[in-house]
Amino acid sequence: MKILKYLVLLLSIIVMGASIAQNTSDQGDDQFSPSVGQDGKDVIWVPTGNELIIKMLQTAQVSPKDLVYDLGAGDGKIAISAAKDFGARAVGIEYNESMAALGQRNAVRAGVADKVKIIQGDIFKEDFSKASVVTLYLLPELNLKLRPTILKMKPGTRVVSHAFTMGDWEADIEIDKPGKAYYWKVPANVVGEWTLDYSAPQTKTTLSLVQHFQRIGGMLTIGRNTQPIINPKLDGNKLQFGYLDAKNNYHTVRATVTDSTIKGEDRGDTIYNEFSGKRN
């Protein structure tokens, strides 16, 4: 495992270049001074460069309305940036007790102790379900271990990972400069058959959806007419697709999914209908 850890460190240095050590020397104090590459519980400590932190948080559109959780917080710099540069509240979870304490002192020195809390804890045991944004810099196998928990979070939760992916969960955005990072938005669970009830009289309508993370497809059945949905998109709990009706008129459907209910609108060239429905 140590060999793997140091190989990952070497890879990170190659990928990030000089940005790895950017402004890290000022993160220690007279009580504790971390060193790049030091062992941790599951990973070695390699801090994210300041420019990449800003880019990651910008990509996640962090704002004062957000609660950011940084998993594996280290010296607290991502949580501190979320508060200082974007006005968000932030919690960092760090297993190393000395590092967590340093992170909280850094938050005090940065003047954001009222917005930032760095706690000592295990990222696989602590509850971060209230986060609207999750940031992490972990190994690929740790990302995969966390993935089921992240996918159970509120649809629309934003996730940014420095350097490593989430396996076959394709990123919504890939960041290439000033370092490598990946961005996702947690998708709602929309798989299954839905019965749609329109505001205007209409033949029985069912929507059957298949799903692979945020990638979806399906069929819309109106009466006896079944057609594939066109250009389907799932953004958090927002669903959009098109279809052709029996007269070959194009419709655009936009809907919001909440658990096993759906509500939205169906617009054609001369037709507008609202609908609601539920999963069968």
Q: Each residue's pLDDT tens digit in the chain (280 positions)?
A: 444 544 554 455 444 444 444 444 456 888 988 878 777 777 888 899 999 999 999 999 999 999 999 999 999 999 999 999 999 999 999 999 999 999 999 999 999 999 999 999 999 999 999 999 999 999 999 999 999 999 999 999 999 999 999 999 999 999 999 999 999 999 999 999 999 999 887 789 999 999 999 999 999 999 999 999 999 999 999 999 999 998 999 999 999 999 999 999 999 998 999 999 999 9
Q: Residue 76 belongs to what domain range?
A: 38-186
Residues 128 and 253 grouped into a single domain: no
Asked, for residue 88, whether it belongs to a domain, the answer is yes
Residues 256 and 170 grouped into a single domain: no
Q: What is the pLDDT of residue 35?
A: 75
Residues 225 and 170 grouped into a single domain: no
Residues 181 and 224 grouped into a single domain: no
Residues 216 and 163 grouped into a single domain: no
CA-CA distance, 196 to 222, in Å (whole number)? 10
Asked, for residue 57, whether it belongs to a domain, the answer is yes
Q: What is the pLDDT of residue 25?
A: 43
Q: Which of 167, 186, 205 is the last residue of a domain?
A: 186
CATH assignment of the domain containing 244? 2.40.128.20
Asked, for residue 3, whether it belongs to a domain, the answer is no
CA-CA distance, 224 to 172, in Å (whole number)? 36
Residues 243 and 144 grouped into a single domain: no
Asked, for residue 136, whether it belongs to a domain, the answer is yes
Residues 179 and 202 grouped into a single domain: no
Residues 55 and 171 grouped into a single domain: yes
Strand, helix or coil at 151?
helix
What is the number of domains present in the chain? 2
Residues 170 and 202 grouped into a single domain: no
Asked, for residue 205, whether it belongs to a domain, the answer is yes
Strand, helix or coil at 121?
coil
Residues 169 and 51 grouped into a single domain: yes
Q: Which of 186, 218, 241 is the last residue of a domain?
A: 186
The answer to whether the beta carbons of residues 184 and 171 sit under 8 Å apart is yes
Asked, for residue 82, whether it belongs to a domain, the answer is yes
Q: Side by side, which strands form the sheet with 173-175?
A: 116-120, 89-94, 67-71, 133-136, 158-162, 181-185, 173-175
Place of tokens 């000395």: 98
Residues 158 and 43 grouped into a single domain: yes
Q: Which residues have CB under 8 Å from 271's CB, separation 6+?
A: 249, 251
Residues 46 and 182 grouped into a single domain: yes
Tokens of 155: 């649809």
Q: Which of 186, 207, 241 is the last residue of a domain?
A: 186
Q: What is the pLDDT of residue 192?
A: 99
Asked, for residue 46, whether it belongs to a domain, the answer is yes
CA 22 to chain centre: 25
CATH assignment of the domain containing 83? 3.40.50.150
Kindly tell me the sign of the dihedral angle through the C-alpha atoms of 101, 103, 106, 111: negative
The answer to whether the beta carbons of residues 275 and 263 sit under 8 Å apart is yes
Q: What is the pLDDT of residue 27?
A: 65
* pTM, 2 dp: 0.90
74: left (phi over 0), alpha (psi -120 to 50) or beta: left
Asked, for residue 19, whether it belongs to a domain, the answer is no
Q: Where are the beta strands (DSSP E) in the chain?
A: 67-71, 89-94, 116-120, 133-136, 158-162, 173-175, 181-185, 192-198, 205-212, 215-222, 225-228, 230-235, 238-244, 250-258, 261-267, 272-279
